[in-house]
Amino acid sequence: MWAEGTIRGSSGLPAGSEFAGFRIERTLGRGGMGIVYLAHELRLQREVALKVIRAELADDERFRARFREESRTAASIEHPRVVTVFGAGERDGLLYVAMRYVPGRDLGRLISARGALAADEAAGLVAEVGDGLDAVHAAGLVHRDVKPANVLVGEPGPVDEGPTAYLTDFGLAKIAASTSGLTATGEVIGTVDYMAPEQIEGRRVDARTDVYALGCVLFHALTAEVPFPERESSSKMWAHLNEPPPPVGSGDGGRAALDTVIRRAMAKDPADRFPSTGDLGRAAVAAARGEAITEPEHPVGIGEAAPLPETVPLAVTAPTDRLPRRRRKPRRLRRILIPLIALLVAAALTFAALIAIPRLTDSDDPAPRANGVTVPSLVGQPLDIAEQRLDELGLQSTEEGGGIFGVLIPSDWQVCGTSPSADSTVRPGATVRLLIDRPGAC
């Protein structure tokens, strides 16, 4: 049997010990969240990958509450490219997750052993991971830590089939972020080498954040290097915010075409990326084969994985050689018309302001200002009360947070913050995003 001190020590669980109905066979790996073991589930007589969460995380009550909720959702995801979560639980103050054991190694170790992968193999593995991530996003989760170490590559199948990729560790990054002391919009969780600009800046993330990271993984698979190697963390972050990804270099025929796919996947603006990881994977396979894409692109994320409406392009097209919109050069006619239109619009706005400003300033309602409506202070208020106040001011509202299962009873949730913040001035009818959590958990 095991001893409490052994589990909480740095050495972890020894081989042959029993924990929560599992017999430990050996250690498979160690990471920031805990230790993963190959274990034998005694009741069902099967091999599993058993992840025991770090003691300091398990000691946090907020983490434990989130862990229980998110693990239920993770266990509900059934997809052939997602490592199945059999269950999760707690034993003697320690949290654990039992997952399907996939013989093989992670993609990072595969690249370290073999070097850069061929274009068709790299594209195929990324496409499989992209399909798995689509299932995660369709369940309302954002992975937040897509990287080669979280892609398990199974043993090759028949002669005409290559290795198969499986996504793992989804959901845990979000739970860790919720107890890190960072605000809901200030969560910076993930691995710097694969981190999207919005993660670095602490802005809202959605499925397209994982698109960016998967683009970085594709780059790594094709070059055996991360997109911005040989830099310190702060310099890497700056590069992700400001620099385009370097080219993957020459090689087999599909590599040059994959450069275009990677550039779009790693666009700084989420609206310029592929709308889903599945779309990225299909584009990569088509580029590696020199084929055209026939399936229309579309987002699949719901809940927290869904993009905000104002960040989605009006029309999403399939070609992968599309450059980000900001880099398109205007035609000669547009260079002439745009300044003229701008002057006309400015004149119209000035005339409208001369009429509207007196009406705003003469009002007895303290909320409106010359430029619009002032966002009230809503932090600490129940969600239903906050929504009512915004409605009375003529403002719309959306919710972010509140667990993976969404908002069921508004009065059960408390406002932790708003975007825009209190005292900001917005146009009438604008949408205010309410960041919510359980009372006392903000």
Residue 441 has pLDDT above 70, yes or no: no
Residue 22 has pLDDT above 50, yes or no: yes
Check residues 30 and 316 and name the one with the higher pLDDT: 30
pLDDT in tens, 264-295: 999 999 999 999 999 999 999 999 999 999 89
How far apart are alpha carbons 276 and 324 in whole angstroms? 16
Residue 325 has pLDDT above 60, yes or no: no
Check residues 57 and 108 and name the one with the higher pLDDT: 108
DSSP annotation of 380 reads: T
Sole residue written with tokens 């302001």 = 353
- Options 106, 120, 131, 145, the catalytic residue: 145
Q: Which CATH architecture has domain 104-323?
A: Orthogonal Bundle (1.10)
Average pLDDT, the chain: 79
Q: Which two tokens stand for residue 10?
A: 């740095």
How far apart are alpha carbons 156 and 55 in whole angstroms? 36
DSSP-based three-state secondary structure for 51:
strand
Residue 384 has pLDDT above 90, yes or no: no
pTM of whole model > 0.75?
A: no
Identify whether the C-beta of residue 261 lies closer than 8 Å to the C-beta of residue 293: no
What one-character-per-residue DSSP string does 315-329 give?
Answer: S----TTPPPGGGPP
Lowest mean pLDDT among 95-109, 152-166, 191-205, 423-437: 152-166
Catalytic residue flag (residue 145): yes
Lowest mean pLDDT among 94-103, 178-187, 411-420: 178-187
pLDDT in tens, 145-181: 899 989 999 876 554 566 799 998 765 544 444 443 3
* 104-323 and 367-442 agree in CATH topology: no
What is the SS3 assignment for 211-271?
Answer: HHHHHHHHHHHHHCCCCCCCCCHHHHHHHHHHCCCCCCCCCCCHHHHHHHHHHHHCCCCHH
Domain residue ranges of the chain, discontinuous segments joined by +: 4-100, 104-323, 329-362, 367-442
Residue 7 has pLDDT above 80, yes or no: no
What one-character-per-residue DSSP string does 163-211 give?
Answer: --EEE--TTHHHHHHHTTT--STT---S-GGG--HHHHTT----HHHHH
CATH topology of domain 4-100: Phosphorylase Kinase; domain 1 (3.30.200)
Q: Which CATH architecture has domain 367-442?
A: 2-Layer Sandwich (3.30)
